[in-house]
């Protein structure tokens, strides 16, 4: 069920992105509010009418799933811009196999070690015109980025170059990498740099992380970016409530996985309910990530709730709210011994010629007792995740 539901969801999200940058049928029919998309900070008007290779925008997606009190699964959020954490999935498995080989000898655990090969195969498959062996590179903001370990790890595992913006240049709308043997053309860039910083000529002029002229090369079809520019509009939390409708619209199917009930604060009736029940709800910024910009009502103080009340009143379109779910727990080794801690799961879905789901994922753990915040940037941990044959 999970595999089918995840593939269904990512397929619909890719179709949504292709549609909103071309025909906008879903907007014309009112299935998704036009202002939620065209007025979204992550929507890139420069991508209108541009054909991306294979119609794939989200080559790599990480979908956060939780299991609630009755054992039912819910999608908490979709991560389509630069989803992170897959290196921890791979390293967790390596450590578990080294420390507890007897467990793997008695259980039929499906492997995850092939992920870098699968990722590389998918990236090469969307190269513009690279022949049999197109050049792939991982673009990183640099060693001061919190996810730099993952960037370097994936580049090393795939056997491709790890580059920063200064290592690349554009000539005749073609991307080249500086090497000791002279310029080498780059066909596919797995970018771990946000849209705004990719090209100082097209986006933020003050960016020192990107490559001047990269967007022109991208628009000319001379390089593929994974994930595509403009995917952020589909993983924005204000768009999340409409994903089930996308599945019905594009696939003519009912969603396999449920969304969490979501109150959209730009709607007056939703906003009024949220303001009356702040002590019961989880409030999130629509552009927030990493567990920041959240209010967890049941554990908040009166002062924190009042601060969020004023923020919602000042800019209601920037917030959504959801019920506080009774997340499942997992035995976890902590200072006091083995104790239950709340978890969620981030499986990884790769879209290429086919849609593939890695038989594992990143299980994130809220190490603080009673906490529901599993993000590593907020003190969370991770666990190896098994899928049995």
Can you tell me whether residue 234 is helix, strand or coil?
A: helix
- Looking at the chain, the domain(s) classified CATH 3.40.50.11290 span 114-226
pLDDT of residue 370: 79
H/E element, 162: strand 161-163
Sort residue 379 into left (φ over 0), alpha (ψ -120 to 50) or beta: left
CATH number of this structure's domain 262-323: 3.30.1490.270
Average pLDDT (155-176) is 97
d(CA 204, CA 261): 36
- Among residues 80, 5, 4, the alpha carbon closest in space to that of 259 is found at 5
How does pLDDT run across 119-142, given as a tens digit for each residue? 999 999 999 976 678 999 999 999
For the record, the structure tokens of 102 come out as 């007897």
Tell which wins on pLDDT, 173 or 354.
Answer: 173
Q: What is the mean pLDDT of the chain?
A: 92
Residues of the chain with CATH 3.30.1490.270: 262-323
Please say if the pLDDT value at position 276 is more than 90: yes
**Is residue 291 predicted with pLDDT exceeding 70?**
no
Identify the CATH class of 114-226: alpha beta
| Interatomic CA distance for residues 26 and 10, integer angstroms | 16
Dihedral over alpha carbons 17, 18, 21, 22 (to 10 degrees): -150
How many angstroms separate the CA atoms of 244 and 235, rounded?
13
Cα–Cα distance measured from residue 78 to residue 231, given in angstroms and rounded to the nearest whole number: 11
* pLDDT tens per residue, range 218-231: 999 999 999 999 99
Residue 106 confidence (pLDDT): 92
- Which range (157-171, 220-234, 328-342) has the least confidence? 328-342
Judged against a pLDDT cut of 70, whether residue 292 lies above it is answered with no
The answer to whether 279 and 305 have CB atoms below 8 angstroms apart is yes
Contact 59, 226 (CB under 8 A): yes
Please report the sign of the dihedral spanned by the C-alpha atoms of residue 363, residue 364, residue 368, residue 373.
negative
């Amino acid at each position: 069920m999970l595999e089918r539901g995840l593939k269904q969801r990512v397929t619909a999200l890719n179709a949504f992105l292709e549609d909103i940058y071309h025909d906008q049928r879903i907007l014309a029919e009112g299935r998704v509010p036009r202002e939620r998309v065209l007025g979204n900070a992550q929507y890139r008007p420069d991508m209108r009418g541009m054909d991306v290779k294979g119609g794939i925008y989200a080559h790599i997606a990480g979908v956060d799933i939780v299991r609630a009190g009755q054992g039912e699964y819910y999608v908490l959020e979709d991560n389509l811009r630069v989803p992170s954490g897959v290196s921890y999935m791979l390293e967790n498995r390596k450590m578990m196999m080294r420390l507890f080989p007897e467990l793997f000898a008695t259980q039929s655990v499906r492997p995850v070690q092939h992920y870098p090969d699968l990722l590389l195969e998918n990236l090469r498959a969307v190269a513009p015109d690279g022949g049999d062996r197109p050049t792939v590179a991982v673009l990183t903001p640099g060693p001061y980025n919190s996810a730099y370990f993952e960037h370097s790890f994936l580049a090393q595992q795939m056997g491709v170059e790890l580059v920063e913006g200064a290592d690349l240049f554009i000539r005749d709308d073609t991307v080249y990498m500086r090497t000791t043997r002279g310029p080498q053309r780059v066909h596919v860039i797995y970018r771990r740099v946000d849209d705004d910083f990719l090209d100082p000529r097209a986006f933020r002029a003050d960016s020192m992380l990107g490559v001047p002229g990269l967007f022109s090369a991208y628009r000319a079809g001379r390089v593929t970016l994974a994930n595509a520019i403009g995917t952020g509009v589909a993983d924005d939390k204000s768009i999340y409530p409409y994903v089930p409708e996308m599945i019905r619209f594009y696939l003519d199917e009912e969603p396999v996985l449920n969304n969490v009930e979501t109150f959209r604060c730009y709607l007056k009736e939703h906003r009024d309910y949220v303001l009356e029940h702040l002590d019961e709800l989880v409030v999130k910024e629509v552009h927030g990530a990493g567990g920041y910009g959240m209010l967890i009502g049941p554990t908040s103080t009166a002062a924190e709730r009042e601060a969020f009340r004023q923020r919602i009143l000042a800019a209601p379109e920037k917030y959504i709210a959801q019920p506080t779910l009774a997340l499942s727990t997992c035995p976890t080794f902590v200072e006091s011994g083995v104790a239950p801690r709340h978890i969620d799961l981030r499986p990884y879905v790769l879209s290429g010629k086919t849609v593939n789901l890695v038989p594992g994922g990143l299980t994130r753990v809220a190490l603080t007792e009673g906490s529901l915040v599993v993000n590593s940037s907020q003190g969370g941990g991770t666990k190896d995740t098994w899928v049995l044959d």
